[in-house]
């Protein structure tokens, strides 16, 4: 029997965290290729350190996407985040380029040919999750962790909080009673700041961003409200710590509240099921919960490289289902073609919509008019209700 009363913690990191800078640059590369050719193949990793960015990976796309264009895309991403510091500056950082053509062996296994449908770009397992703890059907700890940092970033970009610098982290611990979150037991926020700001000043600047995000009455007592616990955070970002693409997969997904298959998202085009199938699994799980068929749902999909259909589709509602889980799995597979091509077609994933996913989570975001965050739609609800 699952526990009903407990504390659970999730963390988020800002767009200026070194790993998120790397994710943003890698996804800017993906967008550049997809904007030029929706059928491009991209697998690009980024390393960031003191005034150095290294791009490496494999691509297949049009010649119009040049080395210079991608280096410019990297610089634009850094500038948009807000890095103009001595140790990491969008204009002055060296950008090294080590990107080459995709392996022909992979292309043979993945590409459609004759009667063979397009196969998965790799083997692996992917999970999707939804729970009715928040309006976005995301776990509450990761949702509030993201929202705190988004609020702070908006204040930094607008100039309302010029003392904040781009690198930041948040951590929210919620108390659950009878399986539902009821208050914040503690909140930790660490934010990079200008040299002249004191810890006390930063604490009071952070306070409203936490209070305005948490539900009324949830703010922790002062002893459990931690802001820059070390006292000083001036040197940050890639100048303070090396960043790598794909190192914040729990931040990107459900904050540890659900299983994770282990694959990262950023830097990968949507033929890679690490990305597209994880989006599809979230899409299905969210629609199950949004339809009222369960209050909590996890879905696992598994694939083999070069094989089009998933090897397994597993659905678990943790005993909250109002319907038969085996039938639910069958119905979901009837509603959505879970082959790599089917997922991309259904969700419209062959578009330059990925740089925006690189910070504050890939899930729990609002669907956008140009197809961004299409996996957050709840357009299967009516069909699911009819099926049962």
Q: Give the tokens for residue 49.
A: 């350190």
**Percent above pLDDT 90 for the chain:** 91
Alpha helices, H only, 12-134: 18-36, 67-81, 104-110
State the residue range of the domain holding 153.
6-13+140-235
Cα separation, 23 vs 248, whole angstroms: 9
Q: What is the pLDDT of residue 306?
A: 83
Cα separation, 341 vs 346, whole angstroms: 9
Cα separation, 91 vs 226, whole angstroms: 35
Q: Is position 252 within any domain?
A: no
Q: Are 320 and 364 contained in the same domain?
A: yes
Asked if residue 106 has pLDDT above 70, the reply is no
Q: Is 185 annotated as a binding residue?
A: no
List, for residues 263-288, the tens digit of each pLDDT value. Answer: 999 999 999 999 999 999 999 999 99
Cα separation, 32 vs 69, whole angstroms: 8
Cα separation, 243 vs 236, whole angstroms: 11
Half-sphere CA count of 148, side-chain side, radius 13 A: 31
List, for residues 212-268, the tens digit of each pLDDT value. Answer: 999 999 999 999 999 999 999 999 999 999 999 999 999 999 999 999 999 999 999
Bridge partners (DSSP) listed for residue 253: none
Contacts of 314 by beta carbon, 8 Å cutoff, 6+ apart: 299, 300, 301, 329
Cα separation, 282 vs 139, whole angstroms: 13
Q: Note if the pTM is more than 0.75.
A: yes
Nearest to 308 by CA among 174, 165, 109: 109
Q: How many CB atoms lie within 10 A of CB 6?
A: 11
DSSP E strands, the chain: 6-13, 41-49, 52-60, 84-85, 88-89, 94-101, 124-131, 164-177, 180-193, 225-227, 243-244, 296-303, 312-316
Q: Are 288 and 353 contained in the same domain?
A: yes
Q: Is position 22 within any domain?
A: no
Asked if residue 104 has pLDDT above 70, the reply is no
Q: Is position 285 within any domain?
A: yes
SS3 content of the chain, % helix, strand, coil (to 5): 35, 25, 40
Cα separation, 186 vs 142, whole angstroms: 13
Q: What is the pLDDT of residue 307?
A: 86
CB 360 within 8 A of CB 16: no
Q: Is 115 annotated as a binding residue?
A: no
Half-sphere CA count of 274, side-chain side, radius 13 A: 17
**Model confidence band, residue 59 (pLDDT cutoffs 50, 70, 90):** very high
Q: Are 323 and 345 contained in the same domain?
A: yes
Q: Are 179 and 226 contained in the same domain?
A: yes
In CATH, what number is assigned to the domain containing residue 346? 3.30.300.10
Q: Report residue 383: phi and psi, to 5°.
A: -65, -40
**Model confidence band, residue 105 (pLDDT cutoffs 50, 70, 90):** low
What's the mean pLDDT in 373-386?
A: 97
Cα separation, 84 vs 76, whole angstroms: 12
Q: Are 128 and 169 contained in the same domain?
A: no
Q: Is 45 annotated as a binding residue?
A: yes
Q: Are 324 and 342 contained in the same domain?
A: yes
Q: Is 241 annotated as a binding residue?
A: yes
CB 24 within 8 A of CB 199: no
Q: Is position 43 within any domain?
A: no
Q: Is 100 annotated as a binding residue?
A: no
CB 167 within 8 A of CB 18: yes
Q: Is 379 annotated as a binding residue?
A: no
Q: Is 337 annotated as a binding residue?
A: no
Q: Is 269 annotated as a binding residue?
A: no
List, for residues 315-344, the tens digit of each pLDDT value. Answer: 999 999 999 988 999 999 999 999 999 999
Nearest to 120 by CA among 362, 344, 282: 344
What's the mean pLDDT in 307-322?
A: 94
Q: What is the largest CA-CA distance in the chain?
A: 67
Q: Is 162 annotated as a binding residue?
A: no
Q: Is 247 annotated as a binding residue?
A: yes
Q: How many CB atoms lie within 10 A of CB 100?
A: 10
Cα separation, 212 vs 150, whole angstroms: 12
Q: Is 351 annotated as a binding residue?
A: no
Domain count, the chain: 2
Q: Are 146 and 128 contained in the same domain?
A: no
Q: Report residue 111: phi and psi, to 5°.
A: -65, 150
Q: What is the pLDDT of residue 46?
A: 98
Q: Is 67 annotated as a binding residue?
A: no
Q: Exposed, middle or buried by CB within 10 Å (0-12, 13-18, 19+), for 314?
A: middle
Q: Are 314 and 354 contained in the same domain?
A: yes
Q: Is 39 annotated as a binding residue?
A: no
Q: Are 231 and 281 contained in the same domain?
A: no
Q: Is position 337 within any domain?
A: yes
β-bridge pairing 52-60 and 94-101: parallel
Q: Is 300 annotated as a binding residue?
A: no
Q: Are 206 and 307 contained in the same domain?
A: no
Q: What is the pLDDT of residue 115?
A: 45
Q: Is position 56 within any domain?
A: no
Whose structure tokens read 């008019």?
369
CB 25 within 8 A of CB 53: yes
Q: Are 203 and 295 contained in the same domain?
A: no
Q: Give the tokens for residue 256.
A: 């540890």
SS3 161: coil
Q: Pick left, alpha or beta for residue 361 (phi over 0 → left; psi -120 to 50 → alpha; otherwise beta).
A: left
List, for residues 173-193, the tens digit of each pLDDT value. Answer: 999 999 999 999 999 999 999
């Amino acid at each position: 029997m699952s526990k009903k009363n407990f504390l659970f913690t999730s963390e988020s990191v800002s767009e200026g965290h070194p790993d998120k800078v790397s994710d943003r640059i890698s996804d800017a590369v993906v967008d550049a290729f997809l904007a030029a050719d929706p059928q491009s193949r991209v697998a690009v990793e980024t390393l960031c350190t003191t005034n150095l960015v290294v791009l490496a990976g494999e691509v297949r796309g049009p010649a119009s996407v040049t080395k210079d264009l991608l280096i410019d895309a990297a610089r634009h991403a850094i500038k948009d985040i807000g890095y103009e510091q001595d140790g990491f500056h969008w204009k002055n950082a060296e950008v090294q380029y080590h990107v080459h053509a995709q392996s022909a062996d992979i292309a043979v296994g993945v590409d459609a040919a004759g009667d063979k449908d397009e196969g998965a770009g790799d083997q692996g397992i992917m999970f999707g999750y939804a729970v009715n703890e928040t309006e976005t059907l995301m776990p509450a700890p990761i949702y509030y962790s993201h929202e705190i940092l988004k609020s702070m970033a908006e204040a930094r970009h607008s100039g309302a909080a010029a003392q904040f610098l781009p690198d930041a982290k948040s951590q929210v611990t919620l108390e659950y009673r009878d399986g539902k979150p009821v208050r914040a037991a503690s909140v930790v926020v660490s934010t990079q700041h200008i040299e002249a700001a004191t810890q006390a000043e930063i604490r009071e600047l952070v306070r409203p961003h936490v209070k305005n995000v948490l539900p009324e009455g949830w703010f922790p007592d002062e002893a459990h409200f931690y802001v820059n616990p070390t006292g000083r955070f001036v040197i940050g970002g890639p100048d303070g710590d090396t960043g790598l693409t794909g190192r914040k997969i729990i931040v990107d997904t459900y904050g540890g509240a659900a299983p994770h298959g282990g694959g990262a998202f950023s830097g990968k085009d949507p033929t890679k099921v690490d990305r597209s199938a994880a989006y599809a699994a979230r899409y299905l799980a969210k629609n199950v919960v949004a339809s009222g068929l369960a209050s909590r749902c996890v879905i696992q999909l598994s694939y083999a490289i070069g094989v089009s259909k998933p090897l397994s589709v597993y659905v678990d509602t943790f005993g909250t289902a109002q319907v038969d889980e085996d039938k639910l799995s069958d119905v979901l597979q009837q509603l959505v073609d879970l082959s790599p091509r089917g997922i991309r077609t259904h969700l419209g994933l062959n578009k330059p919509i990925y740089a925006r996913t690189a910070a504050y989570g890939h899930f729990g975001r609002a669907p956008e008019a140009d197809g961004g965050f299409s996996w957050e739609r709840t357009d299967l609800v009516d069909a699911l209700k009819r099926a049962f």
